Amino acid sequence: MSIGRNKITIVGSGNVGATAAHWAVTRELGDVVLVDIVEGVPQGKGLDLYEATPVVGSDCKILGTNNYQDTKDSDVVVITAGSPRKPGMSRDDLLNINTKIVKAVTEQVVKYSPNCILIVVSNPLDAMTWVAKEVSGFSKNRVLGMAGVLDTARFRTFIAEATSTSVEDIQTLVLGGHGDDMVPFPRLTTVGGIPLEELLSKDKIQALVARARSGGAEIVNHLKTGSAFYAPGASVIQMVEAILKDKKRILPCACYLEGEYGLKGIYLGVPAKLGARGVEKVIEFKLTADEKQALEKSASSVKDLIQRIQL
């Protein structure tokens, strides 16, 4: 790997991991190491992506490997490894199998990159991010989860479609756990600065909220044998970019809470300022009674998962 260039490790070379690597390389964010336990897959996908760099004009190096030693001194490590959701399977069903995977991965990552920032994508997202923090021993700002960027992107897509406007002009937030209890915020949603409530009926907005909540399941039901990967890959790389470029972006991320929003000891999707130190600040704002109740319900679901984890 080249000296002076950012180093990004992506653990898991399945659809999400390989697609995240693709987005990282096209944005020329740094050299990428794609690591996986399956022999040949990271090597093949890594080489294929590397051979695309002359076409897209990216000078990033890509290495596919089965050896964590190759991940040494990574700046950011993205964990996508785990069993994917299958039709009829909830994110909660994945708890036990993915706890073991994320624990083993985190131990290897910490061994070779003790100063990295960890971003977890494995499901159930909030619980797996908690596992990574517990196992790594890292400070809370250096372990975060990707969910809110994806959930918000889905909500923005549906709003743009419903209003026949550009996705670039949609500003909104989806907070809470990455599951059926996630909390979209129509009250804070604007289209080119115009409140959404002035453009769509309450019934239409609620239909969009419901679709955002089941966005992942909708794709699983279409694919039958897999889950989403283009939008999740793009979403985690937006977070990686904010960190590596110290952009100070306010993005919804799974962050460790120590009293913010009246919640403690769990990971939950909240607005966060992302920069070179990872989560540089959790942004708090005043919630309505209904929003507070919805966020607490979502937090309760996450807390229940964490209490069932055996490390």
Choose, from 178, 213, 273, 303, the residue flagged as catalytic. Answer: 178
The predicted-structure confidence for 135-151, as pLDDT tens digits, reads as follows 999 999 999 999 999 99
DSSP H/E element including 152: helix 148-163
| 191 shares a domain with 300 | yes
The reply to whether 273 and 163 lie within a common domain is yes
Considering 123, 145, 167, which residue would you say is the last residue of a domain? 145
Q: Is 222 a catalytic residue?
A: no
Take residue 202 and report the two structure tokens written for it.
């309450």
Q: Would you state the structure tokens that stand for residue 218, as one six-digit string?
A: 């909708």
Rounded to two decimals, what is the model's pTM? Answer: 0.95
Cβ atoms of 62 and 103 within 8 Å: the answer is no
Sequence-ordered alpha helix ranges (H) in 224-288:
230-244
Same domain as 12, residue 140: yes
Nearest to 14 by CA among 234, 189, 228: 228
State the pLDDT at residue 93. 72
Residue 1 in domain: no
The rounded distance, in Å, linking the Cα atoms of 31 and 63 is: 8
**Interval 215-250: pLDDT, tens:** 999 999 999 888 999 999 999 999 999 999 999 999
Q: How much is the pLDDT for 2?
A: 44
Q: Mean pLDDT across the chain, nearest whole number?
A: 95
List phi, psi (to 5°) of 267. -95, 135
CATH number of the domain residue 14 falls in: 3.40.50.720
* Residue 1 pLDDT: 44
Are the C-beta atoms of residues 279 and 285 closer than 8 Å to each other?
Answer: no
In terms of domains, do 173 and 266 share one? yes
Domain shared by 133 and 268, yes or no: no
Cα–Cα distance measured from residue 211 to residue 199, given in angstroms and rounded to the nearest whole number: 18
For a pLDDT cut of 70, what percent of the chain falls above it? Answer: 97
190 and 284 within one domain:
yes
Q: Which of 196, 162, 189 is nearest to 173 (CA)?
A: 189
Examine the fold and report which residue of 145, 178, 202 is the final residue of a domain before the chain moves on.
145
Q: Could you tell me the CA-to-CA distances from 225 to 233, 268, 280 in Å, in that order? A: 18, 28, 38
Same domain, residue pair 270 and 158: yes
Residues 111 and 184 in one domain: no
Tell me, yes or no, whether 156 and 140 share the same domain.
no
Q: Which one of 145, 160, 186 terminates a domain?
A: 145
153 with 297, same domain: the answer is yes
In a shared domain, residues 59 and 178: no
Residue 276 belongs to what domain range? 148-307
